[in-house]
Structure 1
Amino acid sequence: MIESLKKYATPFHTIDDLDSLIEAIGDSKFVLLGESSHGTSEFYTIRAEITKRLIQEKGFSFMAVEGDWPACQSINRYIKGFSSSKQEAREVLEDFNRWPTWMWANQEIMELMEWLKQFNLRTNRTEKVGFYGLDVYSLWESLDEIVGYLDKINSPELEIAKKAFACFEPHNRNNESYAVSAGYLSEDCLKEALDLLSAIQRNKWKFDDNQENSLNMEVNALVTAHAEEYYRTMVKSDDESWNIRDRHMVDALESIVKFYGNDAKVIIWEHNTHVGDARATDMKDEGMVNVGQLLREQYGEDEVFIVGFGTYTGTVIASTEWGVNLEVMNVPPAQIGSWEYVMHQSGAMNKFLIFNEQNRKEFSATIGHRAIGVVYHPEYEQFGNYVPSNMGQRYDGFIFVDRTNALHPLVLERVFI
């Protein structure tokens, strides 16, 4: 495999060196850009430069990311200049107040936001480039959005929304409390959440679309229904709750695509574990699916181009346990025999690889592929941070940064909610 990498991988120094990758993307409708951690600066900056080129050169319509819908809507309103948007990018990013805040409230994203805003100001496109969150965690915030908007327009659906809100309210915005109540005691809000989703979908045509209100209400209702299912399921099955989450991401994505029209082209930013086809990993044996797999299955491999990202060593932003303050941690040299190790051994430099019919078989052996989460213990990395993967089938391209640096959060210390 090291010899094959020497043969097929291409060194790069700037975004212009990635011309052949942009060319390989071709006319794909979905471009998925991964990351092997949520706290690496180069993953954000390189993806940002690729995103700019896809928007400018190939007419991509919007970004969709592994973030909460309501908070990402603040970015969307800002870059589109909606009247309800805040005036400063830093102020907008304060809406990302759910741990881990650093994933989106960081300097790298703020710089991309300013570029997107300026592009939208200059463009003559009918529909401006958007920024949307696909994740499922914002149950309470999405309910707030729904109730607030329906109350504002005096909608008949307000009573249905209030009934759903009242069902969830005793749990005091505590996801774990709801999960235990619904998962173990069968005291759930399934009917109320589904009734709300049905009412919103049935009546979304009534909502004013000057600032994407119909889309906002529809996806918030999807979040409410799917988050209810996610939390109800997670106390009994991590694997099934994972599937609920990734299927939700695809459902939310399809709602946005329909809003933009069938010709919409999408850039997706998520962790490698979500974008790299699950069928090419040991996730398949556990019955788990992910976004990359689902999109390939639904739209065909010609319409989907998946790019993984990885590093050999460096620093990263992460935490030692869920909900505590972030740290800058050292990323140790990759485990001997892993994908990142052989990438480094083939030449200690930044490089990219395009998988195609000519070379996929040479990268079909199962190999450990590093995945760093928001909770990370570098000293125990060898016990759980490597996903057995067929790299040639998991991705269509791979970008390797030999030595990386930690992300730049806007606020280093804050109270997390």
Structure 2
Amino acid sequence: MIKKIFKGILIFLVSLIILIGIGDFLWINLPKLSARKNISDIEDYGKGVSQINLDDNIEVVGLGEATHGNSDFQDLKLEVLKTLVEKNNLKSFAIEADFGEGMIINNYIHGNKRDENISRIFSFNIYHTKNMNDLINYMFDYNQKAKDEDKLSFYGFDMQDPEKSIELILDFCKENNILQEKDLQKDFSFIKDKKFKISKIIKYKEDLLLEIKAYADTLSSPKAKIVSRAITNVLDSVKYYELDFNDYTKANNVRDELMAGNVKWISDFEKAKGNKMLLISGHNGHIAKSEKFYEPMGSHLKKIFGEKYFIIGTDFYKGIVNINEVGPDSKRSNHVFVSADPLAYSARKFKGKYYLDFTKVKDGETFDLINKEINMVSLGEAYSPLMKFMPRSYRIKEVPKDLYDGMIFVYYAKPIAVND
């Protein structure tokens, strides 16, 4: 009798596991199959990236990336940058990287010594790639031939890694004989410590940084204004790292609002030089109009710039993504994901890549798709094997037009190759 009961329980459990497995298989794969559809009018609206045509009133262009780990999205930064430089006389580009790192890259592209691995400056190793070196050196090469007033500028709009900002602030103090009666290098020597904690800045050096900022604010040079903003970013970074990062919503709300403030400052700074348009690039989740769990940078920028902020999201149908694995080693590895996005599947009709301007789509099947919830991929910098069984961990179901003004779709996206 006991054997029969045990056998019955075993059969039930095995059957349950099989049913769960089948259910999970269908949950993962049915959306892929339903995305493989022929969109009858997509070729009427889809264009090449070089055919991006923006209205003259646009002041900030947001270019997103569905993941940080695909080389195709890094290549798109350069392709869109070149297009806007040629068509819209664009002069400035800002990326999701620390403000101080942007200052260093900007100094480099305005110099005369070429560096084939300049991307090593970034703290985020996702940017330590040939693709980013190519982008930066395109700007470097452009500036070698351009008049001073026509040269391109590079910025970072994030504030998570203030160490490089401090180094540049100290250089500025030395150049302008600011507080040289103090030993500033010694005062800030702790930033070179491998166990450096940002909280030390606010505890010991906030007053000193504010004193330097007061000096910088009395000067009228562009460099003084940039250094003043760098100090603001250092102090904002300290406040950010004082937050409880278990509160995901609050931490992201603070970061994205601060990044939006930097974009506004960069835009104003460039306008003062006569440069109307700014291209920014970051994760789709930051540049979008909305996000389910926090208010993204893009929402703040829409409030500031209104229709003068134009957002271009990105997606792939299938991609091999280089991503940071969850765990003590934090190693990077390649993993395959499928978005189940029918619009991205249609990139096959455009030799693997196309641009869709939502503002130009007035009716038809494409219109219906951009105005209803569809699957799209969204990956950050944390991978777990469990994600393979949980498609909602990497697929979002959103209305494309509610997030972006247009999108660039890639059929098959390749992984970044990190140089480290």
TM-score (norm 2): 0.77
Aligned to 1:121: 144
> Residue 229 of structure 1: which of 230, 235, 239 is its match?
239
The residue aligned with 1:405 is 414
Kindly state the Cα deviation for residue 29 of structure 1 after the two structures are TM-superposed.
0.9
The one-letter amino acid of 1:121's match is: Q
Residue segments in structure 2 that go unaligned for 5+ positions in a row: 1-33
Tell me which amino acid in the other structure corresponds to 1:189: I
Q: Do structure 1's residue 93 and structure 2's residue 116 form an aligned pair? A: no
Instruction: Note closer, same or farther for the CA distance 1:48–1:171 as it changes in structure 2 (3 Å cut).
Output: closer
Percent of matched pairs sharing the same residue: 19
Q: Alignment partner of 1:67: what SS?
A: strand
Within-5 A mapping of 1:328-367:
328-334=333-339, 338=340, 340-341=341-342, 343-344=344-345, 349-356=352-359, 358-359=362-363, 363-367=370-374
In structure 1, the partner of 2:102 is 72
Does 1:273 pair with 2:273? no
Paired letter, 1:344: Y
Q: C-alpha displacement at 1:332, in angstroms?
A: 2.6
Give me the whole-angstrom Cα distance separating, in 1, the residues matched to 2:187 and 2:362. Answer: 54
C-alpha separation in 2, matches of 1:245 and 1:386? 23
Deviation at 1:300, TM superposition (A): 1.2
User: 2:377: which partner in 1?
Assistant: 370
Q: Which amino acid aligns with 1:267?
A: L
Query: Does residue 214 of the first structure (1) align with residue 224 of the second (2)?
Result: yes
The amino acid of 1:396's aligned partner reads D
Distance in 1, Cα, partners of 2:405 & 2:181: 46
Output aligned runs, 1:193-208, within 5 Å.
Answer: 193=206, 195=207, 198-206=210-218
Task: Output the CA distance in 2 between the equivalents of 1:248 and 1:25.
Answer: 27
User: Pick from 294, 319, 323: which aligns with 1:318?
Assistant: 323
What is the one-letter code of the residue matched to 1:350?
K
Given that 1:64 and 1:267 are in contact with CA atoms closer than 8 Å, whether structure 2 keeps it comes out as yes
Q: For 1:188-237, what per-residue CA distance to the aligned partner results, in whole angstroms no more than 9, with x for missing partners?
A: 937964x566545543245584xx53244123212212111111113352
Deviation per residue, 1:292-334 (Å, 9 max, x gap): 1111111111x11111111111312212127846544132323
- Provide the rounded CA distance (Å) in 2 between the counterparts of 1:380 and 1:43: 25
Would you say 1:309 and 2:289 are equivalent positions? no
Of 266-275 and 358-367, deviating more is 358-367
CA shift at 1:67, angstroms?
Answer: 0.9
Q: After alignment, is 217-226 or 60-69 more displaced?
A: 217-226
2:272 is equivalent to residue 297 of structure 1: no
SS of the equivalent of 1:65 reads strand
- Supply the RMSD in Å over aligned alpha carbons: 3.5
Number of the residue aligned with 1:282: 292
Question: What is the match of residue 6 of structure 2?
Answer: none
Query: What is the rounded CA distance, in whole Å, between the counterparts of 1:216 and 1:33 in structure 2?
Result: 24
Residue number in structure 2 paired with 1:137: 160
Paired position in structure 1 for 2:29:
none
| CA distance, structure 2, for counterparts of residue 346 and residue 75 of structure 1 | 34
Q: Return closer, same or farther for 1:168/1:45 CA change in 2, 3 Å cut-off.
A: closer
For 2:173, the equivalent position in structure 1 comes to 150
Contact 1:62/1:266 (8 A) holds in 2 = yes
**For residue 80 of structure 2, what is the aligned residue in structure 1?**
50
Residue 61 (structure 2) pairs with residue 31 (structure 1): yes
Q: Does 1:174 align with 2:197?
A: yes
Q: How does 1:235-250 map to 2 (within 5 A)?
A: 235=245, 237-250=247-260
User: More displaced, 352-361 or 157-166?
Assistant: 157-166
Task: Provide the aligned length of Structure 1 versus Structure 2.
Answer: 376
CA contact (8 A) 1:68 1:137 kept: yes
Q: So what's the TM-score if we normalise by structure 1?
A: 0.78
Name the SS for the 2:65 alignment partner: coil
The answer to whether the Cα contact below 8 Å between 2:179 and 2:212 also exists between their aligned partners in 1 is no
Specify the SS of the correspondent of 2:53: helix
For structure 1, the residue ranges without an aligned partner over 5 or more in a row are 179-186, 412-417
Structure-2 separation of matches of 1:117 and 1:167: 33
1:414 corresponds to = none
CA contact (8 A) 2:49 2:354 kept: no
| Structure possessing the higher radius of gyration over alpha carbons | 2
Per the alignment, in what secondary structure is the counterpart of residue 196 of structure 2? coil
